[in-house]
């Protein structure tokens, strides 16, 4: 469990593929649909906040200790199982970009945000009956419904133990983000296997279900560091747009990604009937195989394979990539308004990693 | 849904059976095992804090509004479905007993505690596959696993939105209570259908799973009202012992109660394999029918009926009643140390209602 080894330098952790910081990147440069240039001064974002990320790891491990070993075991199974830590990274970078210097404060908030994210993963896996997560058996599969459900509650509580010690604004923003997560889950559920779903519905689901924690991490970072109201809003825009781009890429990888890199099979959205962006675009493009697999209660593996191939061949993936880049551009437009520093540079560089990732 | 009518006077709500405040109460007086006298100046506890309880009802209803109607509907189904509000009552009475005068503050905390309790009920019903709750279909049965699970998360979040606005001590105590709830659930699960469970195990489960919210409500009430450390501890002792007595009575009612009054069938603990006190005492007394029903994966209705009858006939119920009175005495011993007032009188009077209830 490499992520649990808190003595390890987080820059060694394969958060994303580390790259050379000089030239434009091959796969990015080769992509004909690209319309976003990596910054010339590209920097590894995780390296910018390596010390703080190491503290987040330590705080995560410490926070999940319980008198009931089962709770610690289930929480560790996921927390120590290879998360990208992208939400803490955004939070830490935003704080440092605004000159924040109280490391423990922002580490506590970044930890809270990762704990909330992990709690929702545990509960999502119950809801979706997921078999695998981060390359291994899901907690739900391994530990059963009962203890996994309770472990999710436990992580929510631990998150609020951190967030609750800050001022009312931070408590409210954190609670609002969590409320949005639940509201996003319900909205997504209402479009399960429902071909009437639109791209606008999708963006609303993603805004709530994924982007809310990115947005909240970024704005709390800026706020805690003493950023002006206008710049806190800019940080918020950064997080919001990055979160949407992140989810779109996740959805694309569920179609064209590699099982080994993803740590889970592809085609999960089709199997579960979740309205991902490629599925919605394929439905719009009248891809029959996709419509059949998406709307079927229990699509066969063969039907899913056919639908994935149809999406890969058709325009859906290219259109989804284009939309992810639109959100990436909006993220960049926010990032360039931040005070220049290695950290705001890290925030700009992070956009490219989010867009151009394989897992 | 009478509990949702926030214009209604909460003293009309059948929190418990309202009684005459003068003479000792018939059923209490008639019980040969009684060793706890009702206070001569008995008073209806809910009437002491009627205005504050009405505000808790309003705040509960307001707090569960969501842009997703499904979340409000599921939360309302349970919150507006006839809870006793005994945890808010303890919290409000403890605050007033120490002279607290900031009504909105204690209403927010009392609301948070009821929201947490309700969140755990939603999740418990999923865990137990419960069909009924408070006299009607359980939320899990009516709305399904997915949205019920998410609605439980939603209520936890709303609770923390309230609690998180208080000082670090209150945040920590609230989080500790919630952590204990999850740890109690896991500990209880580890003794599911396990005849090795002891009375000491039971008390530890109940301390965490039920008494923690009573304890926390009482001590936050005393603390927020400015009670000395020693008296905050006394309030804590009151809540802790009352909570244990409350759960023992719940367990007894699951054996000898009436379905119509309880709003759910009896024998649930046997059916689910939960180690209730009467079951543990019957196992200790080598009641064969109880051992068979408790340890069986799917006991038949006939087996459950036989086991319930065996418990009713044998010593288990009398022994359990005796233990509930021991905890009630300890609760009373704490209550008499509180400054004399109508509210501390209400806290003393509440003990009797908890012990001598039919639902």
B302-324 confidence digits (pLDDT tens): 999 999 999 989 899 999 999 99
By a Cβ cutoff of 8 Å, what residues of chain B touch chain A? 66-68, 70-71, 119, 123, 126-127, 145-147, 149-154, 156-158, 160-161, 163-165, 168, 171-172, 174-175, 178-179, 181-183, 185-187, 189-190
For the cut 60, the answer to whether the pLDDT of residue B152 exceeds it is yes
- Cα separation, B313 vs B59, whole angstroms: 45
C-alpha to C-alpha distances, B102 to A175, B99, B263, B312, nearest whole angstrom: 24, 10, 35, 47
Q: Which of B157, B159, B171, B178 to mutate to test the interface with A (most CBs of A within 10 A)?
A: B157
Q: Do B147 and A189 touch (CB under 8 A)?
A: yes
Picking from B273, B262, B266, B359, the residue whose alpha carbon sits closest to that of residue B308 is B266
- Cα separation, A260 vs A263, whole angstroms: 5
Taking residue A29's Cβ as centre, other Cβ atoms within 10 Å add up to 11
Q: Which of B173, B179, B274 to mutate to test the interface with A (most CBs of A within 10 A)?
A: B179
End-to-end CA distance of chain B: 18
By a Cβ cutoff of 8 Å, what residues of chain A touch chain B? 66-68, 70-71, 119-120, 123, 126-127, 145-147, 149-154, 156-158, 160-161, 163-165, 168, 171-172, 174-175, 178-179, 181-183, 185-187, 189-190
Q: Which residues of B234-247 are buried (b: 16+ CB within 10 A; e: fewer)?
A: bbbbbbbbbbbbbb
Between strands B132-133 and B136-137, the pairing is: antiparallel
- Cα separation, A33 vs A30, whole angstroms: 9
- Cα separation, B188 vs B205, whole angstroms: 6
> What is the structure's pLDDT at A39?
67
Domain assignment of residue B28, yes or no:
no
Bridge partners, B137 (sequence order): B132
Q: What is the largest CA-CA distance in chain A?
A: 55
**Contact present, A224 and A106 (Cβ < 8 Å):** yes
B205 pLDDT band, cuts 50/70/90, is very high
The 3-state secondary structure of chain B reads: CHHHCCCCCHHHCCCCCCCCCCCCCHHHHHCCCCCCCCCCCCCCHHHHCHHHHHHHHHHHHHHCCCCCHHHHHHHHHHHCCCCCCHHHHHHHHHHHHCCCCCHHHHHHHHHHHHHHHHHHHHHHHHHHCCCEECCEECHHHHHCHHHHHHHHHHHHHHHHHHHCCCCHHHHHHHHHHHHHHHHHHHHHHHCCCCCCCCHHHHHHHHHHHHHHHHHHHHHHHHHHCCCCHHHHHHHHHHHHHHHHHHHHHHHHHHHHCCHHHHCCCCCHHHHHCCCCHHHHHHHHCCCHHHHHHHHCCCCCHHHHHHHHHHHHHCCHHHHHHHHHHHHHHHHHHHHCCCCCCHHHHHHHHHHHHHHCCCC
Structure tokens at A25: 């990147």
Domain assignment of residue A1, yes or no:
no
**Contact present, A158 and A64 (Cβ < 8 Å):** yes
Where residue B272 falls (left for φ over 0; alpha for ψ -120 to 50; beta otherwise) is: alpha
Place of tokens 């109607």: B69
Q: Do A179 and B68 touch (CB under 8 A)?
A: no
Between strands A132-133 and A136-137, the pairing is: antiparallel
The model's pTM is 0.89
Domain assignment of residue B211, yes or no:
yes
For the cut 50, the answer to whether the pLDDT of residue B189 exceeds it is yes
CA distance A182 to chain B (A): 6
Domain assignment of residue A25, yes or no:
no
Domain assignment of residue A171, yes or no:
yes
Comparison of pLDDT for B130 and B168, the residue scoring more? B168
Taking residue A7's Cβ as centre, other Cβ atoms within 10 Å add up to 7
Q: What is the mean pLDDT of residues B198-203?
A: 98
| Domain range for A103 | 7-17+37-355
DSSP-derived 3-state class of residue A132: strand
For the cut 70, the answer to whether the pLDDT of residue B277 exceeds it is yes
Structure tokens at A227: 């950023």
Domain assignment of residue A30, yes or no:
no
B24-56 tens-digit pLDDT: 332 333 344 445 666 678 899 999 999 999 999
How many folded domains does chain A comprise?
1
B111-120 tens-digit pLDDT: 999 999 999 9
When CB atoms are compared, the residue of B66, B127, B145 closest to A146 is: B127
Q: Do B149 and A164 touch (CB under 8 A)?
A: no
How many alpha carbons lie under 13 Å from residue B218 in its C-beta half-sphere?
Answer: 30
The interface predicted TM-score of the complex, written ipTM, equals 0.89
> What is the structure's pLDDT at B297?
86
A83 phi, psi to nearest 5 deg: -65, 155
B88-137 tens-digit pLDDT: 999 999 999 999 999 999 999 999 999 999 999 999 999 988 888 877 88
Picking from B78, B150, B94, B323, the residue whose alpha carbon sits closest to that of residue A149 is B150
Residues 6+ apart with CB under 8 A from B331: B237, B238, B241, B242, B245, B351
Structure tokens at B133: 């709750």
Bridge partners, A136 (sequence order): A133
User: What percentage of chain B exceeds 70 in pLDDT?
Assistant: 89
Domain assignment of residue A242, yes or no:
yes
Report the residue count for chain A: 359
Q: Do B189 and A147 touch (CB under 8 A)?
A: yes
* Closest chain B residue to the Cα of A119, Cα to Cα: B153
For the cut 50, the answer to whether the pLDDT of residue B236 exceeds it is yes
CATH number at residue B258: 1.10.600.10
Domain assignment of residue B323, yes or no:
yes
Mean pLDDT by 10 residues, chain A (359 residues): 36 34 31 56 94 98 97 95 92 98 98 98 92 85 96 98 97 98 97 96 98 98 97 98 98 91 87 96 95 92 94 93 97 96 96 88
B258 pLDDT band, cuts 50/70/90, is confident
**Contact present, B357 and B249 (Cβ < 8 Å):** yes
Residues 6+ apart with CB under 8 A from B292: B299, B303, B307
Q: Which residues from A are below 8 Å from B72, CB to CB?
A: none
């Amino acid at each position: 469990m490499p992520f649990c080894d808190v003595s390890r330098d987080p820059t060694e952790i394969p958060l994303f593929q580390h790259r050379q910081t000089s030239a434009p990147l091959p796969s990015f440069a080769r992509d004909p649909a690209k319309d976003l240039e990596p910054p010339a001064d590209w920097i590894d974002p995780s390296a910018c906040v390596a010390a703080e990320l190491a503290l987040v790891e330590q705080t995560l491990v410490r926070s999940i200790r319980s008198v009931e070993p089962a709770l610690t075991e289930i929480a560790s199974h996921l927390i120590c199982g290879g998360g990208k830590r992208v939400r803490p990274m955004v939070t830490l970078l935003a704080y440092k970009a605004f000159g924040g210097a109280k490391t423990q404060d922002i580490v506590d908030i970044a930890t809270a945000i990762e704990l909330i994210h992990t709690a929702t993963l545990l509960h999502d896996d119950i809801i979706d009956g997921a078999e695998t997560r981060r390359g291994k058996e899901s907690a739900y599969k391994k530990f059963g419904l009962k203890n996994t459900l309770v472990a999710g509650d436990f992580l929510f509580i631990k998150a609020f133990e951190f967030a609750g010690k800050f001022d009312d604004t931070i408590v409210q923003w954190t609670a609002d983000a969590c409320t949005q997560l639940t509201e996003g889950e319900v909205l997504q559920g209402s479009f399960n296997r429902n071909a009437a779903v639109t791209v606008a519905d999708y963006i609303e689901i993603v805004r709530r279900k994924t982007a809310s924690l990115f947005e909240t991490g970024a704005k709390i970072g800026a706020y805690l560091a003493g950023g002006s109201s206008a710049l806190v809003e800019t940080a918020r825009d950064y997080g919001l747009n990055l979160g949407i781009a992140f989810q779109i890429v996740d959805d694309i990888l569920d179609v064209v990604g590699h099982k080994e890199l993803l740590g889970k099979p592809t085609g999960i959205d089709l199997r579960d009937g979740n309205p991902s962006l490629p599925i919605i675009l394929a439905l719009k493009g009248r891809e029959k195989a996709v419509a059949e697999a998406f709307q079927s209660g229990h699509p066969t593996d063969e039907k899913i394979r056919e639908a994935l191939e149809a999406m890969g061949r058709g325009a859906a993936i290219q259109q989804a990539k284009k939309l992810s880049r639109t959100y990436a551009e909006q993220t960049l437009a926010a990032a360039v308004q931040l005070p220049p520093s290695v950290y705001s540079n890290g925030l700009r560089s992070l956009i490219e990693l989010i867009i151009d990732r394989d897992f």
